[in-house]
C-alpha cells in the first residue's frame, strides 16, 4: 500500500484562526477560502436545512472525486456561518425569519472552480436539488477579529458577545463586520447547555 | 395489523433462567450460542447481548466462572490432583488454571483447598452460582443507573447501497473509505444521505476474522448495484433508538445496556432482524469523544 501523507485537517493547520479561548482574544485572520451558500430565514427552518444539505453534499462530492483520483485527501471542515440582518447592526433586534446567513465550510486552497463545477454537475445529474447550484467558492478576509468560545445554547450568545464587545472597546476596537460562528458541536444530539461554538467579530480601530 | 407482543421483566428472566439451568446441566459440553439462543427463544443475533446485559457477564465468562466454581467444589470434596481438576475444568495446564482460579477466588487452588472459603467466586453481579443440588429459580438482573434514554420511533424502509466487510470490526474504516469515495464522486452523497452500519455478528462471540459488517448509505432508486457495491433494504417498522456518545469501540456497552437492561423492562420484544448504527458525524475531523451514533434495535 502506498504511504499516505498525513490527512489534512484545516482546523489544525490553521489553528491560529480556530482558537477557542474561554476569554476573548484578538486574532489576526488570514484570507480564507470557503465553500459558501447564502440565504434568508430562520435557523433550523426548511431553507436553512436544505442549504446545509447542499453545502455538505458539494463538499463531500469534491473531496471524494479527488480521493477517487488518488489526489491528496483532507477532512471536510466543520460548519461555520456569518449572520446579519438588513437595516440593523444588532441581529437580536431583527425577527428570525429576516436573518440573513452565509453558511461556510473552510476549504483547502488547492480546490478550484473546476472542482466545484464538476461536483455541481454530478449532484444535479442525481437530482440533488437546486440549492446545490447556489454553492460558491469564496475567499473572505475578515482581518483583525475578536474571538471567544461560547458554551451553551445559541439563544444565550448575546452574553458572550457582550463580553467580546467590552474587550474590543478596552483595546480601542469597534465591531465592524458580520457576526461569525464556528460550530464545534453537533446540535442534533448535544444538549444545549453543552454546545460549543466559537464566536468571531471582525473589528476596526475605534474612531 | 398484528397485535404488539408484550413481555415482562419476569418473562425475560425466565427465558434466561432456562439457559442458566441448561448450562448447569451440561457444563462439560460445547454450549453453542445457537442452541442456547433457541432454548431461550431469542434470535441468535440478539441473545448474547440480552444474556450479557441481564446477567452482567458474557456467556463465555459465565461458563468459565461456573466451571471454576465446580472445580472449587471438587478441590474441597475429593483428593484428585489439581492438574486433573484443571483438565476437567477445560484448562490445558496447571498454570492457566491457577491464573484463572486466583482471579476468580483471590487465592490459588492449592491454598483454597485447605481454606474455609466458599465455592462462590467473586464478581457475580447476578447472584448466580454453581449449585449442583438446586435449580436456579431467580437472579438479580443488572440495572445500572441512570436508566438509558431510549425513544421508540417508526421508520420507513430504507434503500441502501452497501459494501460488506468480513473481518475485525476495527478495520471497517477501509470499507467505508471505498464505499464513500465511489458514492461521493458519483454524486450520491447529497446532504440527506444516512450512514448506517449493520453488524451481523457480535464481536464478543464471533471470531474477529469472521465478523460480517455492512457499511451502508441511503440512496434513491436511481442507484444500481455496481462491482462489490450492492443494494439492500433496511426494514421499516418500530425501533428502539438510543444515542451513543463517544468512541465507536465502546458501542458494545451501549448495545448490551439497550438489549440487556432497557429491553427486558420495556414490555417489548425484538424482531428477528439485525440492530444497526447510524453515524451522525464524520470520524475524520471529529475527536473520538465527540462522535455521536444512534443505535437502533428493531421491535415487534
Tens of pLDDT, residues A171-187:
999 999 999 999 999 88
The structural domains of chain B, with segments of one domain joined by +, span 9-113, 150-298
Q: Reduce the secondary structure of B158-221 to three states and give it as a string.
A: EEEEEEEEECCHHHHHHHHHHHHHHHHHCCCCCCCCCEEEEECCCCCCCCHHHCEEEEEEECCC
Biggest CA–CA distance in chain A, Å, is 60
A39-80 pLDDT, tens digit each: 999 998 999 999 999 999 999 999 999 999 999 899 999 999
- Name the pLDDT band for A90 (thresholds 50, 70, 90): confident
**A1 pLDDT more than 60:** no
> Do the domains at B9-113 and B150-298 have one common CATH topology?
no
User: H helices of chain A, where?
Assistant: 10-13, 46-68, 113-125, 157-170
* Three-state DSSP state, B265: helix
Q: How many CB pairs under 8 A join A and B?
A: 82
Establish how many alpha carbons lie within 13 A of residue B17's alpha carbon, considering only the half-sphere containing its beta carbon.
15
- Name the pLDDT band for B133 (thresholds 50, 70, 90): confident
Residue A57, min C-alpha distance to chain B (Å): 4
Whether omega for the bond prior to residue B146 falls within 30 degrees of 0, making it cis, is yes
Mean pLDDT throughout B68-88? Answer: 92
- What pLDDT is recorded for position B168? 92
Would you call A54 an interface residue with chain B, using a CB distance cutoff of 8 Å? yes
What dotted CATH number matches B9-113? 1.10.10.60
Name the nearest CA neighbour of B30 among B54, B52, B60: B60
B88-102 pLDDT, tens digit each: 998 999 999 999 999
User: Average pLDDT of chain A?
Assistant: 93
What ipTM, to 2 d.p.?
0.88
- What pLDDT is recorded for position A3? 44
Chain A residues near residue B173 by CB distance under 8 angstroms: none
Chain A residues near residue B171 by CB distance under 8 angstroms: none
pTM of the predicted model, to two decimals? 0.91
Using the Cα atoms of residue A87, residue A88, residue A89 and residue A93 in order, give the sign of their dihedral: negative
Residue B173, min C-alpha distance to chain A (Å): 14
Biggest CA–CA distance in chain B, Å, is 74
Chain B residues near residue A132 by CB distance under 8 angstroms: 190
Domains detected in chain A: 8-29+143-207 (3.20.80.10), 32-140 (3.20.80.10)
CA distance B252 to B49: 9
Mean pLDDT throughout B161-180? Answer: 95
Name the nearest CA neighbour of B294 among B186, B151, B174: B151
Chain A residues near residue B187 by CB distance under 8 angstroms: 61, 119, 122-126, 128
Would you call B290 an interface residue with chain A, using a CB distance cutoff of 8 Å? yes
Chain B residues near residue A65 by CB distance under 8 angstroms: 184-185
B209-264 pLDDT, tens digit each: 999 999 999 998 889 999 999 999 999 999 999 999 999 999 999 999 999 999 99
CA distance B267 to A53: 38
What dotted CATH number matches B150-298? 3.20.80.10
C-alpha distances (whole Å) from A62 to each of A68, A90, A111, A199, B252 are: 10, 36, 8, 28, 34
Using CB atoms, which residue from A53, A55, A186 is nearest to B280? A186
Amino acid at each position: 500500500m502506498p504511504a499516505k501523507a498525513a490527512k489534512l485537517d484545516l482546523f489544525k493547520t490553521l489553528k491560529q484562526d480556530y482558537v477557542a479561548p474561554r476569554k476573548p482574544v484578538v486574532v489576526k485572520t488570514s484570507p480564507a477560502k470557503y465553500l459558501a451558500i447564502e440565504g434568508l430565514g430562520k435557523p433550523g427552518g426548511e431553507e436553512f436545512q436544505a442549504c446545509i444539505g447542499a453545502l455538505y453534499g458539494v463538499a463531500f462530492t469534491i473531496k471524494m472525486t479527488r480521493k477517487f483520483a488518488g489526489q491528496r485527501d483532507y477532512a471536510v471542515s466543520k460548519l461555520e456561518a456569518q449572520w446579519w440582518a438588513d437595516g440593523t447592526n444588532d441581529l437580536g433586534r431583527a425577527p428570525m425569519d429576516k436573518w440573513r446567513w452565509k453558511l461556510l465550510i473552510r476549504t483547502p486552497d488547492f480546490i478550484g472552480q473546476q472542482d466545484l463545477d464538476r461536483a455541481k454537475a454530478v449532484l444535479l445529474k442525481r437530482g440533488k436539488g437546486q440549492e446545490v447550484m447556489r454553492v460558491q467558492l469564496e475567499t473572505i478576509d475578515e482581518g483583525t477579529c475578536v474571538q471567544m468560545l461560547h458554551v451553551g445554547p445559541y439563544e444565550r450568545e448575546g452574553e458572550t458577545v457582550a463580553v467580546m464587545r467590552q474587550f474590543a472597546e478596552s483595546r480601542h476596537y469597534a465591531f465592524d463586520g458580520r457576526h461569525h460562528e464556528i460550530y464545534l458541536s453537533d446540535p442534533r444530539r448535544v444538549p444545549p447547555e453543552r454546545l460549543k461554538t466559537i464566536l468571531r467579530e471582525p473589528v476596526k480601530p475605534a474612531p | 395489523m398484528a397485535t404488539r407482543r408484550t413481555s415482562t421483566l419476569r418473562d425475560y428472566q425466565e427465558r434466561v433462567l432456562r439457559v442458566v439451568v441448561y448450562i448447569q446441566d451440561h457444563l462439560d459440553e460445547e454450549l453453542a450460542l445457537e442452541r442456547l439462543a433457541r432454548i431461550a427463544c431469542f434470535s441468535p443475533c440478539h441473545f448474547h447481548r440480552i444474556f450479557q446485559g441481564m446477567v452482567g457477564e458474557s456467556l463465555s465468562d459465565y461458563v468459565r466462572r461456573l466451571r471454576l466454581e465446580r472445580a472449587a467444589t471438587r478441590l474441597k470434596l475429593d483428593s484428585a490432583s489439581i492438574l486433573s481438576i484443571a483438565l476437567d475444568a477445560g484448562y490445558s495446564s496447571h498454570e492457566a488454571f491457577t491464573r484463572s482460579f486466583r482471579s476468580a477466588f483471590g487465592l490459588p487452588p492449592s491454598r483454597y483447598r485447605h481454606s474455609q472459603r466458599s465455592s462462590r467466586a467473586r464478581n457475580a453481579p447476578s447472584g448466580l452460582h454453581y449449585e449442583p443440588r438446586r435449580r436456579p429459580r431467580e437472579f438479580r438482573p443488572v440495572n445500572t443507573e441512570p436508566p438509558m434514554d431510549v425513544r421508540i420511533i417508526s421508520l420507513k424502509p430504507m434503500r441502501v447501497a452497501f459494501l460488506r466487510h468480513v473481518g475485525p470490526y476495527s478495520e471497517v474504516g477501509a470499507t467505508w473509505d471505498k464505499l464513500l469515495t465511489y458514492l461521493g464522486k458519483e454524486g450520491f452523497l447529497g446532504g440527506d444521505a444516512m450512514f448506517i452500519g449493520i453488524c451481523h455478528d457480535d464481536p464478543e462471540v464471533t471470531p474477529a476474522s469472521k465478523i460480517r459488517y455492512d457499511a451502508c448509505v441511503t440512496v434513491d432508486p436511481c442507484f444500481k448495484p455496481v462491482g462489490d457495491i450492492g443494494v439492500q433494504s433496511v426494514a421499516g417498522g418500530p425501533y428502539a433508538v438510543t444515542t451513543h456518545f463517544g468512541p465507536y469501540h465502546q458501542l458494545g456497552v451501549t448495545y448490551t445496556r439497550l438489549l440487556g437492561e432497557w429491553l427486558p423492562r420495556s414490555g417489548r420484544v425484538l424482531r428477528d432482524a439485525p440492530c444497526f448504527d447510524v453515524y451522525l458525524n464524520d470520524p475524520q475531523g471529529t475527536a473520538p469523544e465527540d462522535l455521536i451514533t444512534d443505535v437502533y434495535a428493531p421491535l415487534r
